[in-house]
A and B are shown apart, each in its own frame.
Chain A
Amino acid sequence: MKSGKEVRDEIDDYEDTIFAMLGFVNFYRFDDQAGQQRDDVVVFQGRRLTPSPAKSTSVDGNPVESVTPDFGILSQECTGVLGEVKKSFTPDQTLWLSTFRQLMAYDDDLTGWPTADGKLRTHDVVLLTHQSRAVAVCDYHQRRTESGEVSFVRPFSIVAFNRSDERQPYFFFEKRLGNLSHNVLDGRLHQGVQVPMNRLVESYSTIKLCDSKPPLPYMASLIWEHVVAARASDDPKFPKLRRNWKVEVVLTIDEIVSELRRDFSFQVLCPDETERQPMVPRKQWCVRACEALVTGKLASWAERDSREKVRFQFKKLDNVLEHMIGLCANDAEDTGNQLELFSPQPSVTSTS
């Protein structure tokens, strides 16, 4: 059973990962001279890209259908960027190679870019990692490059990030290895750039989910506060609701997925509806969160032997997140590492 602090730390990590991604892509999205966001820069997250025939087989011989970088950036003058965010690396360095193999899979003539023909002439590959691991990761890269296990044809960079908990908190980004094709940004990141958190509040408030499984209480809170409560508030009884009175709300899992995707995912930045874009949140995350709400007697499954429709019993909770943390504390499945982004497993999908 996890402590409340452990769950809060997981939520913190999850949010930090999203904030780091948003901070980095904002370097490309924001036009310093015009003082506004650029319309010609496309940002995507978790998009499935198809490898070239040369890289359509993994090192262990399995066919690779697609690769899913954590984030991608497409701009006219700077070509493209594909990146991976890995806040923490396991102390066992023998497992680090899988991360670099994953990055090397992005160093390819991939198909599926949000361009007319789905192709792009060239692009950079970037690893975003926490400052505390950056030196070790750069050293590892150096050694494995010398031994021939790691190599990149396209420009490859390692950028360290860190949230600085000063009185005015900011994310600090600093390039530790390689070069970016965007010369101006490359120079800035060489010196290190502070991104004050209060400059990105708009993005932080609209993107609460990425293509990585969120902590269960966080997911349950999002569903309760932003989907169930919004529906319940349409009921005339809602304003007069007394403690322990309930408003029934019936929703399908697909409706929950659709609303959270529209309102709180990276779809806000990339409204591309192609099959290549991931369905975030994943349906199974929502099912698991609803199962937790059913266990906590805040909902029940509307149909027997089906996990498609939920009958919520909306009631007033003093502190929704705290309630959900308590509700999920004994959840057997919610004990592993939540952040697939941080997992040593590659996100290369295989047919085998």
Chain B
Amino acid sequence: TLESSWFFQRLVALIEKSYPQAVTTFITHRRLRRLLESFLEQNSFSRLIIRRASSRVRFAQAHQAEDERVIKMVSWPRLELGEAFDMVYEHNGWFQSLQFDACRDHQVLASVFFTRQGVLHTDALVSQAFAAFVEPVCKTIDENVRFFGQRCRRSRGDLSVSPLVVDFQVDQVAEPDQRHRFIKAMQRLRGASVSVLHGNPYVHLSVLDYYDGSAFDVWILSGSEITIVPQMKGSMAAIKRLIHHIFDSYAEGHIREYEGGHV
């Protein structure tokens, strides 16, 4: 690792053990790319060279969702930002962490390490890296706390639900094989029971999180959306873990409030 063992084995481990009181953040792959592009543009670097990448790649035989496997990989691509992201997309994967050089012309101005959990290391340009990564990530954490907090029924006086929607904005879950793949992806969620009440054509799952006892109903009732309904107990940490898993093991989407009730 780039950090001392104390950092990862003690400090990060301590944070992870404090779940759900303390949780690391989660940055979508789309947002990771935007942060890097913004860092490049705002500081007028000529390029960012990805030196080391920790990634996950999906392997599946054609049309056999049950055989899908996610493989951890470490590579030293030495590719520019756009090329590296194109490469990982082509291989049906995503980055977990990146070490990259910020270059202006032929000069390396800083070597930066950044993970999707929000861990940042840089050997130079500290204020620029702080502004480009730490500040927006903190803003995201604040937004997440407000958006994902108070979602469980127990926190609401009338015990009503407060669903949220993962909106793919395209027909991501319209076909039976896509829904089947989604169910299989959900069943790979570690530390949880995933029961299938209905699998096709609509999907209704009951998820019980064994980290803190949170429970969810997960529905697919439209070709482009997944609706998550936190039940009596539904911690912010568990909601984030569930969405993180959907994004990493199935597909990334935009998170928004559920709008329903009208017939």
- Which residues in A have some Cβ–Cβ distance to B below 8 Å? 11-12, 15, 23, 26-27, 30, 32, 35-37, 165-169, 193, 195-202, 204-206, 221, 225-226, 229-230, 232-234, 238-239, 241, 262-263, 268, 316-322
Contact = CB atoms under 8 A, between A and B. Distances in A.
B149 interface: no
A229 B212 contact: no
Interface string B148-190: 0000010000011101000000010010000000000001000
Given A225-B215, A229-B208, A233-B213, A201 B198 contact: no
Interface in B118-163: 153, 159-161, 163
Chain A binding surface, main DSSP class: helix
B211 A205 contact: no
Closest 9 A/B residue pairs (Cβ)? A233-B213, A321-B195, A198-B221, A205-B229, A165-B201, A169-B202, A197-B221, A320-B193, A205-B217
Nearest to B173: A167
B65 interface: no
A229 B192 CA distance: 12
Contacts of B196: 319, 321-322
A28 to B, nearest CB: 11
B39 interface: no
Contact of A201 (B191, B197, B227, B262): B227
Chain B: interface size category: 35 or more
B163 A201 contact: yes
B213 A238 contact: yes
A239 to B, nearest CB: 6
Contact of A199 (B174, B232, B261): B261
Given A32-B262, A167-B201, A169-B201, 7 more contacts: A15-B204, A30-B262, A166-B201, A200-B260, A225-B215, A238-B210, A316-B210
A259 to B, nearest CB: 9
A299 to B, nearest CB: 17
Contact of A167 (B210, B223, B260): B223
A233 B233 contact: yes
A318 B195 CA distance: 8
A204 B233 CA distance: 17
Q: Which of A165, A221, A225 has the most CB of B within 10 A?
A: A225
B229 A201 contact: yes
A168 B193 contact: no
B213 A229 contact: yes
B227 A198 contact: yes
Contact of B213 (A169, A193, A195, A232): A232
A225 B198 CA distance: 17
A3 B217 CA distance: 25
A202 B231 CA distance: 11
A339 B171 CA distance: 36
Nearest to B196: A321
A190 B174 CA distance: 30
B111 interface: no
Contacts of B210: 238, 241, 316
A20 to B, nearest CB: 13
A268 B160 CA distance: 8
